[in-house]
């Protein structure tokens, strides 16, 4: 099987070739033709802008604002989703009764609720936290509900056979059984939270990374704008990566079978 050794280093190299080549091409093309534009900038300038913004702390501050709102909303929405998900997952009757209502409220795009929050809270962090909270409820609710419903019935029978009290049953059987899937819900909800936070910032809220990117665009600074765009992508990717790594180290034994 001589293909095996090639797979590790070779695959990584092949993955990078095309984007690297395109970037170099763009750089050369823009430099050589003296191309000036309000919407694109050569990769080198983007890098310079990125370092500048990192250096003077503006990116750090904006990132902090965005993440504050994202995590704040995640905490609230996640908690609500967790509680409701546990209740619905445990009591089948309630689940069926509330299914219709949940399926009608869920499709409301979070950004549509943004004007309501704007009206109530005005501009600022609370506006974002409110909208993010609404968005974060759904992935947590649905996955928690599924996690509870998906507990191996035999485990619960074991609990009964051992005559475990309510507390012991919850902490020794239920919680460890659902924890891996709750973590997946957390990871997905984090992604949603960041995206929604940035969206609210781009649309109306004058704080955070979304606002920074809009300002960069309006000040005709394409280099900064693209640098911030890449940075937002990196933040999202980084959070996902960190959570996946934690997931694997904590729950390696319960690795999900299908990769998303």
Partner 1 sequence: MTRLAPFAWRLAGLGVGILLVLLWQRIADARVIPAVFLPGPDQAWASLLAGFESGGLWPKLLATVLRMVYGWLLASLLGIAIGAAIGMSALARTYIGPTLEFLRPLPAPAIIPLAIAFFGLSDTMVLGVIGFGALWPMLLATMHGFAAVEPRLYEVARTLGLSRLGVVVKIALPSSLPDILAGMRLGLTIALILAVVGEMLTGQDGLGTWILRAARAFRAADLFAGVILLGLLGYLSAQALSLVESRLLRWRARAR
Partner 2 sequence: MNEPRRLEEFAVAAEAETLIEFRDVGVILGGQPILQGIDLNIRRGEFVCVIGPSGCGKTTALRLLAGLLRPSSGTVLYRGEALSGPRQNIAVVFQDYARALLPWRTAAGNVALALESLGVPAAERGDRARELLAKVGLAAHARRYPAEMSGGMQQRVQIARCLAQNPDVLLMDEPFGALDAMTRQSLQDEVLGIVAATGATVFFVTHDLEEAVYLGDRVIGLRPHPGRIGIEETVPLPRPRDQLTTREDPAFLRLRRALFDFTKSAKA
Q: What residues make contact with partner 1 under the rule CB under 8 A?
A: 11, 14-19, 38-39, 96-101, 103-105, 107-113, 115-116, 118-120, 191, 194-195, 198-199, 202-204, 210, 213-214, 216-217, 222, 225-226, 229, 232-233, 236-237, 240
Which one of partner 1, partner 2, none is in contact with 1 (Cβ closer than 5 to 8 A by kind)? Answer: partner 2
Q: How many residues bind partner 2 (CB under 8 A)?
A: 3
Q: Which residues make Cβ contacts (< 8 Å) with residue 260, sequence separation at least 6? A: none
Q: Which residues make Cβ contacts (< 8 Å) with residue 157, sequence separation at least 6? A: none
The least distance separating partner 2 from the CB of residue 1, rounded to whole angstroms, comes to 5
The least distance separating partner 2 from the CB of residue 5, rounded to whole angstroms, comes to 13
Q: Which is nearer to partner 1, 86 or 212 (CB)?
A: 212
Scored b (16 or more CB within 10 A) or e, 100-118 reads eebeeeeeeebbeebeebb
The least distance separating partner 2 from the CB of residue 100, rounded to whole angstroms, comes to 31
- Rounded to whole angstroms, the Cα distance separating 45 from 27 reads 9
- Our CA dihedral for 35, 40, 41, 47, rounded to 10 degrees, sits at -170
66, 125 contact by CB (below 8 A) = no
* Residues of span 1-30 touching partner 2 by CB under 8 A: 1-3
Q: What SS3 state is found at 117? A: helix
Q: Which is nearer to partner 1, 24 or 120 (CB)?
A: 120
Which one of partner 2, partner 1, none is in contact with 176 (Cβ closer than 5 to 8 A by kind)? Answer: none
Which one of partner 1, partner 2, none is in contact with 2 (Cβ closer than 5 to 8 A by kind)? Answer: partner 2
Task: Encode 215-259 in three state secondary structure.
Answer: HHHHCCCHHHHHHHHHHHHHHHHHHHHHHHHHHHHHHHHHCCCCC
The least distance separating partner 2 from the CB of residue 7, rounded to whole angstroms, comes to 14
* Residues of span 97-126 touching partner 2 by CB under 8 A: none
- Rounded to whole angstroms, the Cα distance separating 236 from 191 reads 7
Residues in the site for partner 2, rule: CB under 8 A?
1-3
């Amino acid at each position: 099987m001589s293909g095996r050794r090639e797979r590790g280093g070779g695959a990584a190299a092949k993955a990078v070739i095309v984007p690297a080549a395109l970037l170099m091409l763009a750089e050369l093309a823009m430099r050589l033709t003296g191309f000036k534009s309000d919407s694109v900038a050569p990769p080198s300038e983007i890098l310079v802008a990125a370092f500048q913004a990192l250096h003077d702390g503006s990116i750090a501050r904006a990132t902090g604002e965005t993440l504050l709102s994202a995590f704040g909303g995640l905490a609230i929405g996640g908690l609500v989703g967790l509680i409701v998900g546990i209740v619905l997952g445990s009591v089948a009757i309630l689940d069926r009764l509330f299914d219709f209502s949940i399926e009608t409220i869920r499709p409301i795009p979070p950004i549509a609720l943004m004007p309501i929050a704007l009206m109530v809270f005005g501009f600022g962090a609370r506006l974002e936290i409110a909208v993010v909270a609404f968005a974060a409820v759904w992935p947590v609710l649905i996955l928690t509900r599924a996690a509870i419903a998906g507990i191996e019935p035999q485990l619960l029978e074991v609990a009964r056979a051992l005559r475990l009290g309510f507390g012991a049953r919850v902490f020794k059987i239920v919680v460890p059984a659902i924890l891996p899937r709750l973590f997946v819900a957390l990871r997905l909800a984090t992604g949603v939270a960041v995206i929604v936070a940035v969206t609210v910032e781009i649309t109306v809220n004058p704080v955070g990374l979304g606002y920074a990117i809009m300002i960069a665009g309006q000040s005709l600074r394409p280099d900064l704008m693209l640098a911030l765009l890449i940075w937002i992508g990196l933040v999202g990717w980084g959070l996902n990566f960190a959570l996946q790594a934690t997931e694997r180290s904590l729950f390696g034994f319960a690795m999900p079978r299908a990769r998303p």
